Chain A
Amino acid sequence: MRFYFHLLLFVMAGLVVAFAPLPVPPIAPQERTFRIDARQFAYSPSELKVNPGDTVTLQLVSTDVVHGLYVDGYDISIEADPGQSATLTFVADKQGSFRFRCNLTCGAMHPFMIGKLTVGTNNWLFRSLGLATLAVFGALISTKQKA
């Protein structure tokens, strides 16, 4: 009986950690422009941070061969030849961290040409950390009860 009570307690705590709404400080959406230099095999800057709701414009400038840029999660892409820079505008309406990667084979290390777009805070990272801590805590308690 006591075991089931504890189990229920942990499940409830887990649900709270996973789904409890966080206080969101209201940030007015703004327009942001990033110029991203692409070369074999890196973007610079490779980490972008924006707030949710921002209108983001990416200018991709390729400095050696034809490169692309594809943003995971948003499913949008552009490609740029050297001398023909390309721009992409989108509204960052999904919160979290997203990989962006080159989607045109640009040489041997092409699969490692990646960057990161962070929209707001990466809540799922902190929630997962909380859940992991809870799991470790639960495991410790259950082993103590048996002993």
Chain B
Amino acid sequence: MNRSELLSRIFVITGIILAIGAPLVFWTRTPLIHARMAENGGWNPDIIQAEVGKPLQLKITSDDVVHGFAVGQMDMQSVDILPGKVSEITLNFDKPGIYTFFCTRWCGLNHWRMRGTIEVSGSSSDPEPVSVPLYVTLNLDIDAPHDAPVIPSGQPSAINGQQLVTNLPINQSTDYYRANSPYQVFDELSSAVLTESERWDLVASIWKSNTTPESLANGQQLYAQNCAACHGENGAGDGVFADDLAASGEASMQTMTGAENMMMQSPVDFTNPTRMLGASPALLQGKILRGGMGTGMPMWGSIFTEEQIWDLIAYLYSFQFEYQN
């Protein structure tokens, strides 16, 4: 082998290595995140570092079933994570802090446990004060029983109530609606000269006036995506996971007995007027924000925005009240 042949060989081999290696190095610089069902480990890695003002590139693949990716409280389209495919996502963060990312496609009973965090470092130009949730301000015990002692005989109609509301001095403000349960409002209306069903219709109209069709539609969508698998598509607490939850909750609920035990294990029935009409929007907000403390109810505080939670709550009451004719 003469000198020039050796040189040309070295030249060709270096060229090939560069052509294959350079994209490979570039590709591996952003690590691949693996998504698995929560039972098998969830996200790996589940803590991601990022910086303010620097776009964060993510590559995610699934090792088992269809998953989804979204960051909580962020206005973004969720991205499907399919097995055998790599989804690429670019995120931009304006503010430092700890963000929660979560799975958006139901991937089993423990789907909601599939969460991770993005730690965004950097300095913020305008630090926002943290607002205290309403249930804390009102000093509500969100674990106390809240049954309504009286329930309506039929479904209260907001349309009928609206006709009554015009000639009565009734507080319809948002603060009043959020702080009181339908039963409390019903009770306060007892001074007026009205029949019981008229009073319930009035309550329904107050609830309706504090929401909009857009909010209800948004709430319905959030409900279908995040709640219906356990609480049921029609709100009756009979979702596809209800039985599995009861079975898996048995172990963790051993300190409780009888009816209370069962109540803690199975998803709440939103069509049950005793429970729903005794719950104020602030109470429901607390339950959704914090989650069920040992039950299967996830904590949504780091995922939903405040507005999304109010929309969802407005939709939950539509299992009790008739808003349209």
Q: Which of A9-17, A42-50, A61-69, A132-140 contacts B (4 or more CB under 8 A)?
A: A61-69
Asked whether A107 is an interface residue with its Cβ less than 8 Å from the other chain, the reply is yes
- 18 A-B interface contacts by CB (under 8 A): A63-B241, A65-B108, A81-B229, A82-B111, A82-B229, A83-B106, A83-B224, A83-B229, A83-B233, A83-B240, A84-B229, A85-B233, A105-B62, A105-B65, A105-B66, A106-B65, A106-B66, A107-B65
Inter-chain CA distance A105–B225, complex, in Å, is: 20
Asked whether A18 is an interface residue with its Cβ less than 8 Å from the other chain, the reply is no
Inter-chain CA distance A104–B230, complex, in Å, is: 22
Residues of the B chain whose Cβ atoms lie less than 8 Å from the Cβ of A104: 66, 82
Residues of the A chain whose Cβ atoms lie less than 8 Å from the Cβ of B228: 83-84
Residues of the B chain whose Cβ atoms lie less than 8 Å from the Cβ of A84: 224-225, 228-229, 233
Residues of the B chain whose Cβ atoms lie less than 8 Å from the Cβ of A83: 106, 224-225, 227-230, 232-233, 239-240
Beta-carbon contact of B66 and A66 below 8 Å: yes
If over half of A's interface residues share one DSSP class (helix, strand or loop), that class is named, otherwise mixed; here it is loop
**Footprint of B on A, CB under 8 Å?**
61-66, 81-85, 104-108
- Of A82, A106, A107, A108, the contact of B241 (CB 8 Å cutoff): A82
How close is A81's CB to chain B, nearest CB, in angstroms? Answer: 5
Inter-chain CA distance A63–B106, complex, in Å, is: 10
Inter-chain CA distance A102–B185, complex, in Å, is: 50
The A-B contact count (CB < 8 A) is 59
Beta-carbon contact of A64 and B108 below 8 Å: yes
A-contacting residues, B214-236, CB 8 Å: 224-225, 227-230, 232-233
Inter-chain CA distance A66–B62, complex, in Å, is: 13
| Size bracket of the B interface | 20 to 34
Residues of the B chain whose Cβ atoms lie less than 8 Å from the Cβ of A61: 240
Known: A83-B240, A105-B65, A105-B83. A65 touches B230 (CB 8 A): no
How close is B69's CB to chain A, nearest CB, in angstroms? Answer: 14
Beta-carbon contact of A107 and B64 below 8 Å: yes
How close is B68's CB to chain A, nearest CB, in angstroms? Answer: 9
Beta-carbon contact of B106 and A105 below 8 Å: no
Asked whether B84 is an interface residue with its Cβ less than 8 Å from the other chain, the reply is yes
Inter-chain CA distance A104–B80, complex, in Å, is: 12
| Closest Cβ neighbor of B82 among chain A residues | A105
Asked whether B95 is an interface residue with its Cβ less than 8 Å from the other chain, the reply is no
Asked whether B107 is an interface residue with its Cβ less than 8 Å from the other chain, the reply is yes
Inter-chain CA distance A92–B229, complex, in Å, is: 31
Residues of the A chain whose Cβ atoms lie less than 8 Å from the Cβ of B65: 65-66, 105-107
Known: A82-B240, A106-B65. A66 touches B107 (CB 8 A): yes
Shortest 9 CB-CB distances between A and B: which pairs? A83-B229, A83-B228, A82-B229, A82-B106, A66-B66, A63-B240, A105-B83, A65-B65, A81-B106
How close is A143's CB to chain B, nearest CB, in angstroms? Answer: 52
Residues of the A chain whose Cβ atoms lie less than 8 Å from the Cβ of B233: 83-85
| Closest Cβ neighbor of B230 among chain A residues | A83
Residues of the B chain whose Cβ atoms lie less than 8 Å from the Cβ of A106: 65-66
Beta-carbon contact of B66 and A82 below 8 Å: no
Residues of the A chain whose Cβ atoms lie less than 8 Å from the Cβ of B239: 82-83
Inter-chain CA distance A82–B66, complex, in Å, is: 12
How close is A40's CB to chain B, nearest CB, in angstroms? Answer: 8
